[in-house]
Chain A
Amino acid sequence: MFSSELLPCLMVALPLVGAGLVLLSPPKSPDQARWTALTNVLLTFVLALLLVARYQVPELLPPNADEVDRRELVKQTLQMGRSFPWLSPRAASEPVAGAQRQVDTPVQLAFAVDGISLWLIVLAALLMIPAVLVSWNAIDERPGRFYALMLLLEAGMIGVFAAQDIILFYIFFEFTLIPLFFMIGIWGGSDRRWAARKFFIYTLAGSVLTFLGLLFIVLSEQWMSNSPALTFSIPELTASIQQQIAASPQNAAYWGRVSPWIFAALFAGFAIKVPLFPFHTWLPLAHVEAPTAGSVLLAGVLLKIGSYGFLRFALPLVPGASVAHFHLVAILAVIGIIYGALLALAQEDIKKLVAYSSVSHMGFCVLGLFAFNTVGLTGGLLQMINHGLSTGALFALVGMLYERYHTRDIASYGGLARKYPRMAFCLLVVAFSSIGLPGLNGFTGEVTSLMGMFATNRLYGTLSLAGIILGAWYTLSLVRRTFFGRLREPVQSHQHSPVVSHHQAHGQPAETPLTDLNLREMCALGVLIVPIFWIGLYPKFFTRRMQPSLQPIVAVLQEQGAVMLSQKNALPVERPVQASQPAPSPANSTISR
């Protein structure tokens, strides 16, 4: 066996190799491309399982832990790390002015996992399986290229979560745009070109500002620590900045001054990616026009990059500004939850309905993260995984239905449960998971993030409950209207379908027999339904691995967020001695506002 240190690097490299292999496979035999892609995806998923198996869960902090303990914990949670020099061909260090220092630029190919990225990596690897399976027959035009792009996307997604270098993170963050642009633009629905471009430009416009924010974090760290070289390593930056703020009041004042700007820059990119309320307009278009696999991955994994960004950068690096912008973000999230749900309720197009429900559900993630306590953060992170599973499965189901009838119009369906009992079962499970039925994953995620939010601010918690009720409404009415009642099937002639199929546009009608789910489709849904039950019945398996990584972030938020806020309000710069106080117990620690 190989050393587990290489696991995250391998997980990024394997899909890249796979993409190359798929491209090399002869264009005449699409099946070869399909099987190569599937093998590659399964292998990557096996590696992801190995990652979970080899991840050692560190002990949680005792209640009276101090900063040193916290740093130790962070070090313990970060596992299987490996870095290679990138911008420095010769990592030489030479003694200058008596001090040993690195002369070369330290941007590195650094990969590792911690409790936050572990499950997101597994999610990305898992969702690739249904993504490959649902495209099996749906993509009949140049499938080799489609699968190559999809594998490139997988490398990008895993890379984003595994990257431990701030520039590397950004590179993967942007890189995911390219394959998805082509996937939407070439294989998407009727309005695919505009959807692809809007998606790309919208995300790019936000992320370039994020790029400035990330760069500025690196440069500011050097200014504060006066170290002889810049560091781009995310854990090093996080530790060093927290140390510098605690070390000198001047640094704390400086960081307090620049934090809002950094937060704004990070917010620009991540809020668009999540998406939060006013920035969500790219999402329905991209989701609806994307091919099924694209929608599954976009909703399942790529939206999480936004909330992951908040969790990885905004909360630990600019805790003061995050706390200060609590109301802004929470209000946007609550508006997103309710507005998204209302829009979903009004949709007649199944895919649009699911797309708007994503806006609503992602609001819960953000709400959980911005509760600033362990419960909320755990809930937010868990909700990311849950949303990935349930929305991924929903999009896959919509895709299967679409493959059979070539319409997404809700009104043209009815009573399908009689004809498709297996599909009805899967849809029910997924729908219940999505609306948070106890025993399924959605419940654990939503309840924990709302519990966290209730501890911080009751009003927002209560308001977002409306989203749950509306969610149950639109999801169940979707299920009722399509799968129950009198059997009604869309007319098969394509001219009558309100949504023009892209097969028609390409002049290649692909006929799928009107039978219940076949083995391939059941496998695609099965791999999603198993974790839906698992998280719902035994969430501790998952949260136990998350919490050690979330705890230090919460501690920083509680301490330094409060420190910097108090500094902002009271001008004579005097750092309150808080580090020695016992950290407040997570659940009932509220932010006094």
Chain B
Amino acid sequence: MSETFSILLPHVVLALAGALFLLAGTFAIPRRWFGPAALAVLALTAVMLRLSVSHTLAAGIDSGFSVRSSALAVGFQYCCLAVGALFVLQSISQQSREEGPTGEFYGLLLLMIDGLLLVGVANDLITLFLSLELISIPTYVLLYLGRRDPKSQEAAVKYFLLSIFSAAMLLYGMAFVFGLTGSTQFDSIRRVLIETYAPINPEAVVPAPSALGLVAIAFLLAGLSFKLAAVPFHFYAPDVYEGTSAFNAGLLAVIPKAAGLFALVRLIGQVTVGFEATGQQLALILAAVTMTGGNCLALLQTNVRRMLAYSSVAHAGYMLVGIAVGFWEQSHPSQGLTAHGGLGLPGGLQSSLLYLLTYSIASVGLFACLVHLGRPGRQVEHLEDLTGLAKTNPILGTVMALFLFSMAGIPPLPGFWGKFSVFAGALSVRQLTLDGGFQLHPAFAILAVVGVLNAAIGGVYYLRLIALMFLHEPLGAPRPTGGRSAYYAALVSAAAVVLMGIFPGALFHFLQNSPRENLGLRPATAQMTPAAVDSAAVNPVAVNPVEQPAN
């Protein structure tokens, strides 16, 4: 069994199962069978993944393939399967009661999850693009499925057009990368870029970054920012979330964001060598604007899903802080948190992944609560609909408060750990001063301050919702009509949130020990500027001499 096939085996299983579900939808099979079957498929995929991991990681995959597995990718895939299972779980009750194509619904859901898994292992621009499309195309259909009112039609069309547009931008950026390096395969691209922009030989002349590459970085970031719903590519989010069902909104809040962020993390490791400075600046600005824009606009909302849409925009901003730090760590391999094999905290890219995970779990849970509280046609719309929820439904109220506090970053919930590692990354960025010392990078310092102030702004609207649920008497008690399965999904997520909050050790350990090569970080060859050499002589802090040519 070849390694490539072994990596792809879980994906093949999932894709085949998805196709089978689509086919089965045309037969007269009881609706209530589909949900559990989809769960079983996900479990099977997890088993296959486990088997393929023991095969591939032991064999030690070399470069040259269009898919490539690593410890980090496998960890990502397990998390995606878990999140996917939570989505399947929360839809079971509604799908088994409602009219509409159930087989197609689960088939498309499985295909989406498959696309998400594929993002984890994609090692080629084409594979990456295809896996992102494997997420987008089922999303278009899911947004249309069974919804006839004009608002959801509008939402679907809006998402469709803007998504196509962003895909085009992404593809355009990829074309530039191909034009620059003559390859679509990550390892080849990386090799070419390192030979040009970060030669091992310190005497080699390093050219100025090519304009092609700068355009490529800008377009890649723009294309993926749409998936992340980062300002100014966020315009679809509030309208689409508001127009569609709570379930679809939850899907949109988590899956494209996870795909976009992981793709970004992968791309930074592979195709941005030599262009980190530009990427860093773009990510810095995107992060600051996204956090502030998302949070400030969320303050003004009265619709639950609209508010959560803006809050998901804001969370993309925090993730982009980690991305900006990641760019810096790329260009300064011997400094920062990832230097010398790690100082004890995950670096920028890993911290943004940690943030993604904490955000995803809380989001899935929160939207599961909304799914449980409403059914299509009679959903929770206004914030006031949740008034007094803690009195009428104490457990659900507590669980929702847990998710909201986690999103607000109140310790010891996982959201706090996400913010902790992201901001630790931002504050670890330093630059040399004229007198040979070093200082905190001012741009990142400002970013960190903007970030924490945003956390406080975020606290305002999360707390407003919590106050509505806990401190007010119920007006018209929101009756849970969405079925039990969503309730169970919310409980499972709540358990995960509590566990991750109290025992974050395993996560931190995993992320911080996932070796640099998993992320394709630039090898720690000391690509020192003259200033760095000088300061290394004066002050051994700046560059650790042990860390000289590693490879």
Residues of A within 8 A of B (CB): 85-90, 96-97, 102-106, 167, 170-171, 174-175, 177-178, 181-182, 185-186, 192-193, 196-197, 200-201, 204-205, 208-209, 211-212, 215-216, 218-219, 222-224, 226, 228-230, 250, 253-254, 257-258
Closest to A185 in B: B471
Q: Given A250-B539, A257-B439, A230 and B456 touching (CB < 8 A)?
A: no
How far apart sit A120 and B438, CA to CA, in the bound complex (Å)?
A: 39
Q: Given A87-B505, A208-B453, A106 and B427 touching (CB < 8 A)?
A: no
* A96 in contact with B464 (CB, 8 Å): no
List chain A residues, Cβ under 8 A from B460: 201
Q: Given A186-B470, A200-B463, A205-B453, A229 and B448 touching (CB < 8 A)?
A: no
Which among A193, A208, A209, A226 has the highest number of chain B CB atoms within 10 Å? A208
How far apart sit A105 and B440, CA to CA, in the bound complex (Å)?
A: 21
How far apart sit A171 and B541, CA to CA, in the bound complex (Å)?
A: 30
* A90, A219, A226: the one within 8 Å of B509 (CB): A90
Closest to A222 in B: B343
* B428 in contact with A219 (CB, 8 Å): yes
How far apart sit A212 and B417, CA to CA, in the bound complex (Å)?
A: 14
* B345 in contact with A105 (CB, 8 Å): yes
* B452, B472, B538: the one within 8 Å of A193 (CB): B472
List chain A residues, Cβ under 8 A from B504: 86-87
Q: Given A87-B508, A89-B505, A258-B440, A215 and B344 touching (CB < 8 A)?
A: no
* B345 in contact with A178 (CB, 8 Å): no
The binding surface of chain B is classed by DSSP as: helix
Binds A, one of B105-113, B119-127, B408-416: B408-416
Q: Given A87-B509, A204-B459, A215 and B423 touching (CB < 8 A)?
A: yes
* A228 in contact with B340 (CB, 8 Å): yes
List chain A residues, Cβ under 8 A from B546: 97
A-B contact pairs, 7 of them (CB 8 A): A103-B341, A200-B459, A204-B410, A205-B453, A208-B452, A211-B452, A250-B436
CB-based closest 7 A-B pairs? A105-B344, A208-B452, A171-B411, A205-B456, A185-B471, A89-B505, A229-B344
List chain B residues, Cβ under 8 A from A192: 471
Q: Given A103-B342, A228-B343, A223 and B449 touching (CB < 8 A)?
A: no
How far apart sit A178 and B410, CA to CA, in the bound complex (Å)?
A: 9
* B345 in contact with A226 (CB, 8 Å): no
List chain B residues, Cβ under 8 A from A102: 344
* B344 in contact with A106 (CB, 8 Å): yes
List chain B residues, Cβ under 8 A from A104: 344, 509, 512
6 new A-B contacts, CB < 8 A, other than A104-B344, A186-B470, A229-B344, are: A85-B505, A103-B344, A171-B411, A215-B420, A223-B430, A223-B438
* B513 in contact with A103 (CB, 8 Å): yes
Is residue B540 contacting chain A, with contact meaning CB distance below 8 A? yes
* A216 in contact with B427 (CB, 8 Å): yes
How far apart sit A226 and B430, CA to CA, in the bound complex (Å)?
A: 14
* A88, A185, A212: the one within 8 Å of B448 (CB): A212
Is residue B157 contacting chain A, with contact meaning CB distance below 8 A? no
Closest to B502 in A: A86
Closest to B455 in A: A208
Q: Given A96-B341, A102-B344, A105-B344, A201 and B459 touching (CB < 8 A)?
A: yes
Closest to A232 in B: B344
* B427 in contact with A212 (CB, 8 Å): yes
Closest to B546 in A: A97
Closest to A217 in B: B427
* A174 in contact with B505 (CB, 8 Å): no
* B438, B452, B464, B513: the one within 8 Å of A197 (CB): B464
List chain A residues, Cβ under 8 A from B436: 250
How far apart sit A178 and B470, CA to CA, in the bound complex (Å)?
A: 12
List chain B residues, Cβ under 8 A from A253: 437
Question: Could you tell me which residues of chain B, from 455 to 483, have a CB within 8 Å of some CB in chain A?
Answer: 455-456, 459-460, 463-464, 467, 470-472
How far apart sit A207 and B538, CA to CA, in the bound complex (Å)?
A: 37
CB distance from B476 to the nearest CB of A (A): 19
List chain B residues, Cβ under 8 A from A89: 505-506, 509
Q: Given A88-B508, A201-B460, A229-B344, A250 and B452 touching (CB < 8 A)?
A: no
Is residue B405 contacting chain A, with contact meaning CB distance below 8 A? yes
How far apart sit A204 and B459, CA to CA, in the bound complex (Å)?
A: 8
List chain B residues, Cβ under 8 A from A250: 436-437, 538-539
How far apart sit A192 and B427, CA to CA, in the bound complex (Å)?
A: 38
* A170 in contact with B509 (CB, 8 Å): no
Q: Given A104-B344, A185-B470, A230-B345, A174 and B439 touching (CB < 8 A)?
A: no
List chain A residues, Cβ under 8 A from B412: 171, 175
Question: Could you tell me which residues of chain B, from 419 to 438, have a CB within 8 Å of some CB in chain A?
Answer: 420, 423-424, 427-428, 430, 436-438
* A230 in contact with B541 (CB, 8 Å): no
Closest to A210 in B: B452
Q: Given A201-B460, A212-B427, A223-B430, A230 and B439 touching (CB < 8 A)?
A: no
List chain A residues, Cβ under 8 A from B440: 216, 258
How far apart sit A43 and B460, CA to CA, in the bound complex (Å)?
A: 37
CB distance from A180 to the nearest CB of B (A): 12
CB distance from A377 to the nearest CB of B (A): 29
How far apart sit A352 and B452, CA to CA, in the bound complex (Å)?
A: 32
Interface flags, B315-343, vs A, CB<8A=1, else 0: 00000000000000000000000001111
List chain A residues, Cβ under 8 A from B459: 200-201, 204-205
* A174 in contact with B449 (CB, 8 Å): no
How far apart sit A219 and B424, CA to CA, in the bound complex (Å)?
A: 8
Q: Given A87-B508, A204-B459, A196 and B467 touching (CB < 8 A)?
A: yes
How far apart sit A103 and B341, CA to CA, in the bound complex (Å)?
A: 8
Interface flags, B533-551, vs A, CB<8A=1, else 0: 0000011110010100000
List chain B residues, Cβ under 8 A from A216: 427, 440
How far apart sit A417 and B458, CA to CA, in the bound complex (Å)?
A: 50
* A208 in contact with B424 (CB, 8 Å): no
Closest to A184 in B: B471
How far apart sit A167 and B438, CA to CA, in the bound complex (Å)?
A: 25
How far apart sit A192 and B467, CA to CA, in the bound complex (Å)?
A: 11
* A105, A196, A218: the one within 8 Å of B508 (CB): A105
* A171, A186, A215, A228: the one within 8 Å of B424 (CB): A215
How far apart sit A338 and B341, CA to CA, in the bound complex (Å)?
A: 55
How far apart sit A318 and B508, CA to CA, in the bound complex (Å)?
A: 30
How far apart sit A197 and B428, CA to CA, in the bound complex (Å)?
A: 33
CB distance from B29 to the nearest CB of A (A): 45
List chain B residues, Cβ under 8 A from A88: 505, 508-509
Which among B344, B508, B538 has the highest number of chain A CB atoms within 10 Å? B344
How far apart sit A249 and B178, CA to CA, in the bound complex (Å)?
A: 51
Closest to B466 in A: A181
CB distance from B531 to the nearest CB of A (A): 15
CB distance from B61 to the nearest CB of A (A): 25
* A219 in contact with B427 (CB, 8 Å): yes
Closest to B508 in A: A87
How far apart sit A561 and B344, CA to CA, in the bound complex (Å)?
A: 31
List chain B residues, Cβ under 8 A from A200: 459, 463
List chain A residues, Cβ under 8 A from B505: 85-89
Closest to B501 in A: A171
CB distance from A250 to the nearest CB of B (A): 6
List chain B residues, Cβ under 8 A from A209: 449, 452-453
How far apart sit A89 and B463, CA to CA, in the bound complex (Å)?
A: 33
List chain B residues, Cβ under 8 A from A229: 343-344
CB distance from A373 to the nearest CB of B (A): 33
List chain B residues, Cβ under 8 A from A219: 424, 427-428
How far apart sit A170 and B546, CA to CA, in the bound complex (Å)?
A: 35
* A97, A185, A204, A228: the one within 8 Å of B467 (CB): A185
Closest to B452 in A: A208
Interface flags, B276-316, vs A, CB<8A=1, else 0: 00000000000000000000000000000000000000000
How far apart sit A174 and B459, CA to CA, in the bound complex (Å)?
A: 12
* A197 in contact with B344 (CB, 8 Å): no
List chain B residues, Cβ under 8 A from A178: 405, 410
How far apart sit A102 and B460, CA to CA, in the bound complex (Å)?
A: 39
CB distance from B419 to the nearest CB of A (A): 8
CB distance from A438 to the nearest CB of B (A): 44
